[in-house]
Amino acid sequence: MVTFYNSETEARADAQALGLREKVLCFVQDSLKMLVFDHADVPDAGVQVPAGGVEAGETPAEAAVRELREESGLTLSHPHFLAAYRWEAQTPERFTRQVCYAFAFAAPADMSPNWIQHADGHRFAFRWADLSRPELDWEMDAALPHLHSFLAESADLNHSPNRSLAHD
């Protein structure tokens, strides 16, 4: 079950009050594509985006920049906050409940179409997926409507749907 918060501040307060894990998701966008990965060694892990936990003393935006770098090798800045939500689900192994923060990043113009990244003892096979249907697993698709709305608003403001986010 996914429950959206009205603000990042509200989400952080709820996570602290309930002692919930905080997680960031990184949506790297380039025109009509978004960066996704498959676990090269664990095919059942599903299609994912760079994501991970917020460490002590770190803001969600700082965690997003760090997780993106650690999992993909990309050093991007200027994350744009999209949404925060609580995800609660019964997985085969356990009941999980965490607060998630979704951020958008603009891809630089010279991105490779695909690559393998070694991180945390895993091999991540990165590729570009169609932004309209990236086929993400787990709860990772919950914030996609917020990404689509942000990109539409940015395109209206910039009159350019291809470069709608600031990038490095």
- Distance from C-alpha of 60 to C-alpha of 53, rounded to nearest angstrom: 9
Q: Where are the domains of the chain?
A: 2-158
Name the phi and psi angles at 130, rounded to 5: -60, 125
Can you give the C-alpha Rg of the chain in angstroms? 15
Q: What is the predicted pLDDT for the residue at 163? A: 43
Q: What is the predicted pLDDT for the residue at 31? A: 86
Contacts of 17 (CB under 8 A, 6+ apart): none
- Distance from C-alpha of 98 to C-alpha of 113, rounded to nearest angstrom: 32
Q: What is the predicted pLDDT for the residue at 167? A: 47
Instruction: Encode 35-44: b = buried (16+ Cβ within 10 Å), e = exposed.
Output: bbbbeeeeee
Q: What is the predicted pLDDT for the residue at 159? A: 54
Q: How many residues are recorded in the chain?
A: 168
CATH, domain range 2-158: 3.90.79.10
Q: What is the predicted pLDDT for the residue at 61? A: 98
- Distance from C-alpha of 99 to C-alpha of 83, rounded to nearest angstrom: 11
Per-residue pLDDT tens listing for the chain (168 residues): 999 999 999 999 999 999 999 999 999 999 899 999 999 888 888 899 999 999 999 999 999 999 999 999 999 999 999 999 999 998 888 898 999 999 999 999 889 999 999 988 899 999 999 999 999 988 899 999 999 999 999 887 765 444 445 545
Give the number of other Cβ atoms within 10 Å of residue 74's Cβ: 20
